[in-house]
């Protein structure tokens, strides 16, 4: 399906930002031209450069917007930092990582592009934002480990592995969908992702796969918490 932007729905700067996010996420920094962005935004390249002096400045603006989206979805972590020792906390973290990978894929791609292609300021922006989020996740995991809720592992490494596995799962699902012509629904995908990580981190007697009647209501509540964090 051809991507397009409604010129009446947004002002010029917002249209440029939306177009840039679409194209940078799909083609990368070096594979994208400002002419393409201007064309998708239904504006002249001259108008684009009135708002953004360079392609790099425009990329930084799109990256900042995406990082703010991720940070907003992660804002609930501040609220649970005082009482992190619960199964519900783990479920909320799992839902957060899954939902960012599933529903904000452009942000994930822009972050990768920042580290792989742009470096410099873009990399520093990602490190500052993501570092804070991962520290909060690691702190929550560490509290649960010390309370005996989950297995005693390296919390920082566990947080990073959970995040990368969420990205890998969405990629594998797209690959499988292309091959067999069917697509796993987001809820089913989240259930499988949650079952995997609770089995990894919890004892069998406490895992959701062994106590599904208890776990899934908590998971549904956690999903509501994560997805309404932007409100």
Domains of the chain by start residue, with CATH: 12-53 (1.10.10.60), 63-227 (1.10.357)
> What mean pLDDT, rounded, does the chain reach?
82
pLDDT at 115: 96
Please give the average per-residue pLDDT across 123-133, as a whole number: 95
Supply the DSSP string of 92-104, one letter for each residue: HHHHHHHHHHHH-
Say if residue 2's pLDDT is above 90.
Answer: no
Comparison of pLDDT for 60 and 148, the residue scoring more: 60
Question: Encoding tokens for residue 12?
Answer: 């010029």
Q: What are 109-116's contacts with CB under 8 Å, separation 24+?
A: 109/24, 109/25, 109/26, 110/21, 110/24, 110/25, 110/59, 110/62, 110/63, 110/66, 111/63, 111/66, 111/67, 113/24, 113/25, 113/28, 113/29, 113/59, 114/59, 114/63
Cβ within 8 Å of residue 67, ≥6 positions away? 107, 111, 125, 126, 129, 130
Average pLDDT over residues 156-163: 94
Res 202: pLDDT: 84
pLDDT at 214: 36
Residue 85 in this model has a pLDDT that exceeds 60: yes
Q: Are 85 and 23 in contact (CB under 8 A)?
A: no
Residue 87 — very low, low, confident or very high, per pLDDT cuts 50/70/90? confident
CB distance 28 to 38 below 8 Å: no
Tokens representing 198? Answer: 């609770």
Percent of the chain whose pLDDT exceeds 90: 55
Q: Is the pLDDT of residue 122 over 50?
A: yes
Q: Is the CA virtual torsion 41, 42, 44, 50 positive or negative? A: negative
For residue 91, count CB atoms less than 10 angstroms from its CB and return exposed for 0-12, middle for 13-18, buried for 19 or more. Answer: buried
- Average pLDDT rounded to a whole number, residues 108-121: 96
Digit-coded pLDDT (tens) for 178-228: 444 455 577 888 888 999 999 999 865 555 444 343 344 444 444 444 444
């Amino acid at each position: 399906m051809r991507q397009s932007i409604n010129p009446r729905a947004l002002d010029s700067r917002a249209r440029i930002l939306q177009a840039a996010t679409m194209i940078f996420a799909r083609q990368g920094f070096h594979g994208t031209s400002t002419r393409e962005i201007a064309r998708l935004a239904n504006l002249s390249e001259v108008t684009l450069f009135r708002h953004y002096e360079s392609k790099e400045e425009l990329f930084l603006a799109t990256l900042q917007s995406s990082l703010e989206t991720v940070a907003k979805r992660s804002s609930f972590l501040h609220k649970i930092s005082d009482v992190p020792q619960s199964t519900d906390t783990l479920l909320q973290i799992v839902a957060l990582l899954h939902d960012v990978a599933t529903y904000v894929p452009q942000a994930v791609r822009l972050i990768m592009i920042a580290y792989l292609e742009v470096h410099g300021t873009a990399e520093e922006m990602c490190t500052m934002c993501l570092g804070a989020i991962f520290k909060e996740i690691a702190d929550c995991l560490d509290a649960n480990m010390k309370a005996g809720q989950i297995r005693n592992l390296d919390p920082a490494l566990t947080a990073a592995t959970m995040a990368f596995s969420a990205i890998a799962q969405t990629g594998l699902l797209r690959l499988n969908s292309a091959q067999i012509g069917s697509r796993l629904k987001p809820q089913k995908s989240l259930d499988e992702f949650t079952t995997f990580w609770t089995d990894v981190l919890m004892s069998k007697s406490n895992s959701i796969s062994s106590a599904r009647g208890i776990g899934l209501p908590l998971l549904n509540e956690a999903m509501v918490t994560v997805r309404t964090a932007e409100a």
